[in-house]
Structure 1
Amino acid sequence: MRKLRNDRDIIELVSEDEWMMKILHTAGSLGLPDWWVCAGFVRSKVWDYLHGYTERFALPDVDVIYFDPSITDEAVEKELEQKLRSLMPEVPWSVKNEARMHLANEIEPYASAVDAMSKFPETVTALGLTLDERKRVVLSAPHGISDLLEFVVRPTPYFEQSPELMAIFEKRLVQKNWRSRWSKIEVAAR
């Protein structure tokens, strides 16, 4: 097993995964602005690899986010999910336009999909992959990848700023129960 040290190593790992590349190309076929496949899609691949698992972790969903302030109707997201399901019905797609999600989350509007990602609950979830114009994998990690590579689960700075958000973070730790799958993870001291 090769060591993962930087963004390039993660991009290479993903690029070698036929299933992940098919997911990225399928999501990219929608032609959405500022789109990313994010969260557990990235984290689970890296943690599975670093734990030496050869069987893929079954994701509860594959999160596709994008940013389009011109059309913020939730029904459009459901139509996009249906399109993706017609292309890859075995994938549990979830599509969200981050240009409207600030309303659902009752916070200030996001500036982009990456800005929204930076406000996800955990640094190890604030990760996304997309394809550039030449169909090469691009990784976005607003809080870096060191927590991911060191198995450290900590809240993003956005979530650390309020007791209400920290309560959501704590609840997610219990619900997700990541340690039952990935024994090396540690929750950062708060």
Structure 2
Amino acid sequence: MSLGNPRACPLQTEADLLEAIKQDKWMITILDTAAKLELPDCCISAGFVRAKAWDMQHGYIERTPLMDVDVVYFDAHDIDKATEKELENMLAKMMPDVPWSVKNQARMHHVNQMPSFRDTAHAIACYPQTATSIGDKLKEGKLQLIAPYGVDDLLACRIAPTPLYVSRTPYHYIYLDRVNKKNWQRLWPRVRMEESI
């Protein structure tokens, strides 16, 4: 992976980001594959979109490999963790080279020890970083973005906490711990942490 012009910012708007995803055959194939499961309130979130944006903002020619592709959905009628594994296996049969991770957001508040989520968009809004609080899906062949905090931080390569994780909140330590463990600056040197946290 080569570092392009550090001043280049090919993505300026949400429309730019959507167009970049539309032009990425690998991403569209993954979105189409996830859509085949017809899961309720489903999208692919977090690093799937973030890595694409940050790769482009860095001028990378090669894609930064993802640790996982986060398929999230909301089904309050079946919160059995085993169901998620079955879904991962189904996706793996369709695209075996993709590191699928499937999580039902109707149960994830238990895992994260938080109040229950209303739907997938609410769950995404409760992710620790604004740049990661983003989802993408194909609905009736149309690409849709779920971005509760917009895309400004994502496109600026800025790490900032979502409201639940700002300083002097009970979850702030989770935000700090996650940022430290991820060490995104190692992969994307232009990434900066928001100072006013």
TM (norm. structure 1) is 0.95
Distance 2:169 2:71 in 1: 28
Query: What's the CA shift for 1:157?
Result: 0.5
Tell me the secondary structure at the aligned position of residue 108 of structure 2: helix
Distance 1:185 1:132, change over 3 A: same
Pick from 47, 52, 62 the counterpart of residue 69 of structure 2: 62
Q: Flag structure 2 segments of 5+ consecutive residues without an equivalent.
A: 1-7
Aligned residues: 189
Q: Which structure has the highest helix share of the two?
A: 1
Contact 2:126 2:164 in 1 (8 A): yes
Q: In the alignment, does 2:43 pair up with 1:10?
A: no
Q: In the alignment, does 2:194 pair up with 1:188?
A: yes
Q: 1:113 matched to which residue of 2?
A: 120
What letter matches 2:143 in structure 1? V
Q: In the alignment, does 2:94 pair up with 1:104?
A: no
Q: 1:176 matched to which residue of 2?
A: 182
Tell me the secondary structure at the aligned position of residue 138 of structure 1: strand
TM (norm. structure 2) is 0.92
Pick from 166, 173, 182 the counterpart of residue 172 of structure 2: 166
Q: In the alignment, does 2:79 pair up with 1:72?
A: yes
Tell me the secondary structure at the aligned position of residue 106 of structure 2: helix
Query: What's the CA shift for 1:175?
Result: 1.0
Q: Flag structure 1 segments of 5+ consecutive residues without an equivalent.
A: none
Q: 1:151 matched to which residue of 2?
A: 157
What RMSD in Å do the two structures reach over aligned CA positions?
Answer: 1.3
Percent same amino acid at aligned positions? 42
What letter matches 2:47 in structure 1? G
Q: 2:53 matched to which residue of 1?
A: 46
